[in-house]
Amino acid sequence: MDIRHLFRRNTFEHGIHPAQHKELTSGLPIRRLAFAPRLIVPLSQHAGAPAVATVKPGQEVVRGEPIAQADGFVSVPMHAPATGVVEAIQLMPTARGPKTESIILRVYEGSSQEVLYDNPHDVDTMSPDDIIRAVQDAGMVGLGGAAFPTHVKMKPPPEHKVDTLVVNGCECEPYLTCDHRIMLEQTDALIAGTRIAMRAVGAGRAMIGVEDNKIDAVDAIADRLPANGPITVHAVQTKYPQGAEKMLIDSLLGRRVPSGSFPSAVGVSVFNVGTLAQIGALLPLGRGVIERVVTVSGAGVERPGNYLVPVGTPVRFLLEHAGSTPKAHELILGGPMMGMSVASMDVPVTKAVSGMVVLEETDADLRGRKVYPCIRCGYCVEACPMHLNPSLLGLLAAKHEYRKMEQENHLNDCFECGCCSYVCPSNIPLVQYFRIAKTVNREKAA
């Protein structure tokens, strides 16, 4: 047998190899979290227009019932994560900072985890437009962290013909293992969701890309796929940020997405494994997204694991369940490379939250590192997967040359992966500079 494929993996140019820390949770099965006494459901948990509440304070709702409708095409509805009564609709804090209008649901004590609201579909007879409409009705967004409405991705511009569906199972962020467990435990739902998405976008084949530190997931998927079928699974090299859609397209297909373009420009649509597993499980039943798998990990967690968490669960409740060590110092929603540190424990878990990492004060990244001037070593240039010059962008940012960063140096091609900040020996917070520059440019454009 030719075993060369076991050692040589496809990958992209540049990138980094941070410590993985996945062994803390990769072997732990998904466990269901109990309901918090109150759930906070923000009406804006996705890119695009916020949903519009369709319930009123004092109204009773059942688990799975729609409680907010989409406000246009680039928007998704919300569904009740539990059976209870709407206590209020008001502005509440979010992990991103600004307060957002939210539905506060008081959960009935002893409420069942059973979903009491559905509207079944015969998926086999649905047209692509029917599928897209049903995906929007389910409130489905990208569960890899971007939270872009999935139905919008399923309808690429008419001038672009999609021939390949790329399924992203890389999960390259340190600590996070929720996608890994989904691939192992919800394999059939993942494959069903992949077939549904292929029909929606009109793709003739699907390629599932998984980093080679999760070979058990590759094997689990391969065992359920017919030989020579339109869906294949591929191991790619473990390297950050392999899970970025442009990087994965390059690794699997050798296609480069042009600057300023989307994957559909090269005939590809990309979906996260968690998103497709939910589509495969929910669409036939006509149910909405009311919970998601969240990895809770880090040195500051007493009982790390992968938890099935109702949307709207306060972070405080989740952390109390998982337990925190006396030295717990910083909480990050998402992974440590692209996630965000949160100051309030009262913000809710949303559809976009794939992980909760709790670090201790002794962790290297929390020691209050001093920032030094750029020494032009070029490490950031060698690391940048988008082949930008982060050093030059950082120098321009220091001079507030934000427009020049965008117009002459491709600032908007940066997807803020953090590779440059990670390798910088001067500890320059380059990603933070780039985020400020983008925000200023957007505000001026508006």
One domain, residues 237 and 133: yes
Instruction: Give the DSSP H/E element, type plus range, for residue 103.
Output: strand 100-107
One domain, residues 269 and 149: yes
One domain, residues 135 and 257: yes
Report yes or no on 301 lying in a domain.
Answer: no
The predicted structure's pLDDT at residue 62:
96
Report yes or no on 274 lying in a domain.
Answer: yes
The predicted structure's pLDDT at residue 94:
87
Of the residues 262, 285, 308, the one at which a domain ends = 285
Report yes or no on 125 lying in a domain.
Answer: yes
One domain, residues 174 and 276: yes
The predicted structure's pLDDT at residue 367:
46
One domain, residues 280 and 148: yes
The predicted structure's pLDDT at residue 218:
96
The predicted structure's pLDDT at residue 378:
93
Report yes or no on 20 lying in a domain.
Answer: yes
Report yes or no on 78 lying in a domain.
Answer: no
Query: Residue 258 and residue 263: Cα distance in Å, rounded?
Result: 9
One domain, residues 126 and 249: yes
79 and 66 Cβ atoms separated by less than 8 Å: yes
The predicted structure's pLDDT at residue 97:
75
Of the residues 259, 285, 311, the one at which a domain ends = 285
The predicted structure's pLDDT at residue 390:
96
252 and 263 Cβ atoms separated by less than 8 Å: no
The total number of structural domains in the chain stands at: 2
Of the residues 266, 285, 304, the one at which a domain ends = 285
CATH number at residue 221: 3.40.50.11540
3-state secondary structure of 313: coil
The predicted structure's pLDDT at residue 341:
87
The predicted structure's pLDDT at residue 7:
44
Report yes or no on 427 lying in a domain.
Answer: yes
What is the span of the domain harbouring residue 185? 4-26+120-285
Report yes or no on 144 lying in a domain.
Answer: yes
One domain, residues 393 and 278: no
Q: How many CA atoms lie within 13 A of 42 on its CB side?
A: 26
One domain, residues 265 and 406: no
- Report mean pLDDT in 10-residue bins for the chain, 446 residues: 48 91 96 96 92 97 96 95 97 86 95 88 94 96 89 92 96 96 98 97 96 95 93 95 94 92 94 97 96 96 97 96 90 92 89 94 64 93 95 94 94 94 93 94 88
Report yes or no on 52 lying in a domain.
Answer: no
With a CB cutoff of 8 Å and minimum separation 6, the contacts of 174 are 18, 19, 20, 21, 22, 240, 335, 336, 337
**pTM of the complete model:** 0.93
Closest CA to 80 of 121, 45, 39, 33: 39
One domain, residues 134 and 275: yes
One domain, residues 266 and 391: no
Per-residue pLDDT reduced to its tens digit, 183-217: 999 999 999 999 999 999 999 999 999 999 999 99
The predicted structure's pLDDT at residue 364:
53
One domain, residues 261 and 394: no
